[in-house]
A = this chain, B = another copy of it.
């Protein structure tokens, strides 16, 4: 029955109401310039244009959506990458829109700022949860519901990391809408007291809105700056160096994981409410 298979109808069962699923099907192509049938079953998310360019160059596929809020490309094998932009609003939007195609798995390849002395630039982080700082979607679930990745998806990604002899850390990421806070000691201390390993702007929102839409999701983050040390703050020069040294490997692990999880991954059971 359609009403059982459509996760969106769970949340919009009032007759005559605007139907989220229809909206998402109309909006996803409008936001990305990509027709629905071109999306694959597994999705990589990024907010760096050059990741999408590297993806499109590797798979010799076209980038859709230039001039639109989001850009996307799909490989011949049916793996899709979307550059959804920066911040929680865009993170929530893309996870709502993706409900239109009910993907089997979504992996975010993002960058984050390391908050521990053991987090160095170039480290990979597989976050076990993300704290929902301001801007991360209280309209979806009350604040005590934790923002979590899908266990089996992360288990698979961690195996790909081990196979490729890429070391990684686990821990809790703090997600906030605020970008410039490096000068604010109280804010930094709060995040450290919560023992967060890193700070970013999207992970908690992707996790909680993905959970709301019943989408299996994960995040593999690259530490691109260490804002707790004065010379660790991101600058033009440091960002280019990080991109040169680690972006290819980051992208590579993400592609390997999402390209093979359909065949090799433990079955991800889609839960029912």
Contact A88 B177 (CB under 8 A): yes
Which of B53, B145, B152 is in CB contact (< 8 Å) with A195?
A: B145
Contact B146 A143 (CB under 8 A): no
Which of B141, B177, B178 is in CB contact (< 8 Å) with A177?
A: B177
Copies per complex of this chain: 3
Q: What is the CA–CA distance of A128 and B234 in the complex, to the nearest angstrom?
A: 33
Identify which of A72-80, A102-110, A181-189, A250-258 touches chain B. Answer: A181-189
Q: A269 contacts the other chain (Cβ, under 8 Å)? A: yes
Contact A179 B96 (CB under 8 A): yes
Task: Using CB atoms, name the residue of chain B closest to A227.
Answer: B18
**Known A50-B67, A271-B118, A271-B171; contact A194-B145, beta-carbon cutoff 8 A:** yes
Contact A135 B89 (CB under 8 A): yes
Q: What is the CA–CA distance of A148 and B118 in the complex, to the nearest angstrom?
A: 20
Which of B11, B155, B172 is in CB contact (< 8 Å) with A148?
A: B172
Q: List 26 A-B contacts (CB under 8 A).
A: A18-B233, A20-B180, A23-B180, A24-B180, A30-B236, A30-B239, A85-B90, A87-B88, A89-B89, A89-B90, A92-B179, A92-B180, A118-B271, A126-B151, A128-B148, A129-B146, A129-B148, A131-B146, A134-B137, A134-B139, A139-B178, A139-B181, A148-B172, A150-B170, A158-B266, A169-B271
- A-B pairs, top 9 by smallest CB distance, nearest first, are A87-B89, A135-B135, A146-B146, A93-B179, A96-B180, A89-B177, A12-B183, A30-B236, A151-B170
